[in-house]
Amino acid sequence: MEADGRLRWHCRRGMLELDLLLGAFANHGYNVLDDAGRLAFERLLEYPDQVLLDILMGRMAPADPGIAHVVTQIRGATVSPA
User: pLDDT for 10-69, tens place per residue?
Assistant: 899 889 999 999 999 998 899 999 999 999 999 999 999 999 999 999 999 999 999 999
Residue 2 confidence (pLDDT) above 70: no
What ranges do the domains of the chain cover?
Answer: 16-76
> Measured between alpha carbons, how far is 65 from 68 in angstroms, rounded to an integer?
5
Residue 80 pLDDT = 53
- Please report, as a single letter, which amino acid is at residue 74: I
Give φ, ψ of 57 to 5 degrees: -90, -5
> Measured between alpha carbons, how far is 11 from 18 in angstroms, rounded to an integer?
8
Contacts of 69 (CB under 8 A, 6+ apart): 37, 40
Residue 78 pLDDT = 64
Fold of the 16-76 domain: DNA polymerase; domain 1 (1.10.150)
